[in-house]
Structure 1
């Protein structure tokens, strides 16, 4: 399944934001900043990536149902993808 470019755009934006946060975490480590501050930022990166994954699964599910109908959706495959994010 390929995502519609219009539906992929917000996901890409969200992931780019997480990418920027990760760059900040790396810079903080290189600068020797406080461990607690680095971990706080790293937790934010992790949450942003998790939310991106969940949004991607939700978008894919909506698209599958819209194009294939409920009976045509491979729920086992979607469940496996969803659980891989847990």
Structure 2
């Protein structure tokens, strides 16, 4: 995994960790369930995006660039970007 991708993953995971810490505080404060569920949904979305980045990186590592034409590389890159965006 490249350094840039590794840093992106770490940043996303730190953000999720911060959100979880905030949720713990909300529970301790007895905050409304709707507020807590909203934050939990944000955490779930963050984790899904991290998973998308990991899957995309794995696919990139499994497929050597010299095996693909320039058009195929562009198509693969677009597909992987979609995976990251939607997960």
TM-score computed with the length of structure 1 as normaliser? 0.69
RMSD: 2.1
Write out per-residue CA displacement over residues 8-40 of structure 1, whole angstroms, 9 at most, x where no aligned residue. Answer: 111111111011111111110011011100000
Query: After TM superposition, what 4+ stretches of structure 1 lie above 4 angstroms from structure 2?
Result: 67-70
Deviation at 1:67, TM superposition (A): 6.9
Q: 1:1-86 residue pairs with structure 2 within 5 A?
A: 3-66=1-64, 69=67
Give unpaired runs (5+ residues) of structure 2: 69-87
Deviation at 1:7, TM superposition (A): 2.0
In the alignment of these two chains, the number of paired residues is 69
Change (3 A) 1:66 1:13: farther
